[in-house]
Amino acid sequence: MILGTGIDIIEVDRVAERVARKNGFTEKVFSPAEISFCESMSNKGQHYAVRFAAKEAFLKATGKGLLAGHDLCEVEIVSDELGKPGIRLHGNFYEQAIQNNWNKIHVSLSHLKDMACAVVIIEQ
């Protein structure tokens, strides 16, 4: 049963500018593995932006928005060996997943030069 859906779209430059400021935004929003991945890519702004969009879409899918939590680095965007994206939850978000029976989380990512978007579906 689907418990929630969320979608988000964001300008790549908007996220890239925040990352470039080196003011703690990157570490607050992204996990060390996400930072390592994005920094290794030639178009790192696109990769940061699409991950940010996925985190926002996830918050919308929970039905709680920012009330679900502010530690976005605990919502980690991962890829399997074939490149299929997924979400791995940590800390408070992991506990909420158990409490709320978020048994399956689907995520789809897309980005262009200027825009990034993500869709998240949470199933029971």
Catalytic residue among 44, 47, 55, 111: 111
Task: Please enumerate, by residue number, every residue annotated as part of a binding site for Mg(2+).
Answer: 8, 56
78-103 pLDDT per residue, tens: 999 999 999 999 999 999 999 999 99
| CATH code assigned to 2-123 | 3.90.470.20
Q: Please state the domain extents for the chain.
A: 2-123
Instruction: Give DSSP secondary structure letters for 11-58.
Output: EHHHHHHHHHT-SSHHHHHS-HHHHHHHHTSTTHHHHHHHHHHHHHHH
Helix axes 44-62, 12-20, angle to 10 degrees: 110
44 belongs to the catalytic site: no
24-70 pLDDT per residue, tens: 999 999 999 999 999 999 999 999 999 999 999 999 999 987 777 67
